[in-house]
Amino acid sequence: MFAKELIDLEKISKKMSDREILRFGLAAELDAINFYEQMAEYTDDENIKEVLLDVAKEEKEHVGEFQTLLLEKDPQQVEEMEEGKEEVMEMLGK
């Protein structure tokens, strides 16, 4: 559900790679999506639900932004994602 380890910004090394930064960003956005969608399920107020789901949708856009940058910074990630996609398509018979 939610990331167990929060980032202590004071302890982050300046040597942290851009890939690590982008992965932390991805994790934070995915946590936010889960949070907003779960809260939308809990409320009976349609206005609140609508806003929560809209915010979750915005977070999904942020995932795309971080992922795009990560794929530029990490060619191996591109290869592994493609292999993973092929495995799933094979398992699903597609």
| Reported pTM | 0.79
Contact criterion met (CB below 8 Å) for 42 and 9: no
Q: What is the pLDDT of residues 32-85, one digit of tens each?
A: 999 999 999 999 999 999 999 999 999 999 999 999 999 999 999 999 999 999
Q: How far is CA 55 from the centre of its chain?
A: 14
The residue count for the chain: 94
Q: How far lies 18's CA from each of 26, 69, 87, in Å?
A: 12, 9, 28
Which residue ranges make up each domain of the chain?
17-91
Q: DSSP letters of 2-48?
A: --SS---GGG--TT--HHHHHHHHHHHHHHHHHHHHHHHHH---HHH
